[in-house]
């Protein structure tokens, strides 16, 4: 089933999200957030690096992240936001219910994080 949530596809869009420095890491994924100044629906991007494994493992991680987003983001995603989900090594082997719980936790916690701070309260590099 294709997600109705618009996607981030260009590298510049991913870089804008990363530049905000808002992120929350859980065991199964890393969530990055960019707050836009509009009322458009949330957009989502996915990335999984070669650290996760070979192409089969990376694609499986991406599919699992998309399935988790389809369950969670339609209800809990906020307008005017760009989200990037980064797959981790544990994304593939983590039970799906735990992966969904990781995403829900990250969405709740990242919204309360002040701009320009990461989950530990440190300034991002270069600021």
CATH no. for residue 85? 3.30.230.10
Tokens of 6: 């618009």
Query: Is residue 47 in a domain?
Result: yes
Is the model's pLDDT at 38 over the cut of 60? yes
**Residues 20, 35 contacting (CB under 8 angstroms):** yes
Interval 19-29: pLDDT, tens: 988 999 999 99
Query: Is residue 64 in a domain?
Result: yes
In this prediction, residue 123 has a pLDDT band, given cuts at 50, 70 and 90, of: low
Query: Is residue 2 in a domain?
Result: no
Query: Is residue 122 in a domain?
Result: no
Query: Is residue 101 in a domain?
Result: yes
Domains identified in the chain, total number: 1
Long-range contacts for 17-21 (Cβ within 8 Å, ≥24 apart)?
Answer: 17/45, 17/82, 17/83, 17/84, 18/84, 20/115, 20/116, 21/115, 21/116, 21/117, 21/118, 21/123, 21/124, 21/127
State the average pLDDT over residues 93-114: 91
State the average pLDDT over residues 12-17: 93
Residue 23, H or E segment: strand 22-25
Domain that holds residue 35: 16-112
**Residues 46, 32 contacting (CB under 8 angstroms):** no
Q: What is the pTM of this model?
A: 0.83
Q: Comparing 64 with 77, which gets the higher pLDDT? A: 64
Query: Is residue 103 in a domain?
Result: yes
Query: Is residue 98 in a domain?
Result: yes
Query: Is residue 124 in a domain?
Result: no
Report d(CA 76, CA 62) in Å as an integer.
20
In this prediction, residue 127 has a pLDDT band, given cuts at 50, 70 and 90, of: very low
Virtual torsion, Cα 109, 110, 113, 118, nearest 10 deg: 120
């Amino acid at each position: 089933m294709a997600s109705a949530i618009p996607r981030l596809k260009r590298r510049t869009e991913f870089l804008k999200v990363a530049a905000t420095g808002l992120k929350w890491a859980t065991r199964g994924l890393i969530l990055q957030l960019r707050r836009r100044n509009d009322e458009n629906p949330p957009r989502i991007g996915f990335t999984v690096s070669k650290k996760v494994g070979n192409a089969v493992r990376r694609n499986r991680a991406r599919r699992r992240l998309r399935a988790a987003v389809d369950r969670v983001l339609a209800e809990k995603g906020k307008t005017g936001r760009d989200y990037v989900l980064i797959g981790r090594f544990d994304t593939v082997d983590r039970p799906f219910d735990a992966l969904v719980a990781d995403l829900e936790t990250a969405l709740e916690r990242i919204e309360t994080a002040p701009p320009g701070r990461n989950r530990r309260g440190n300034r991002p590099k270069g600021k």
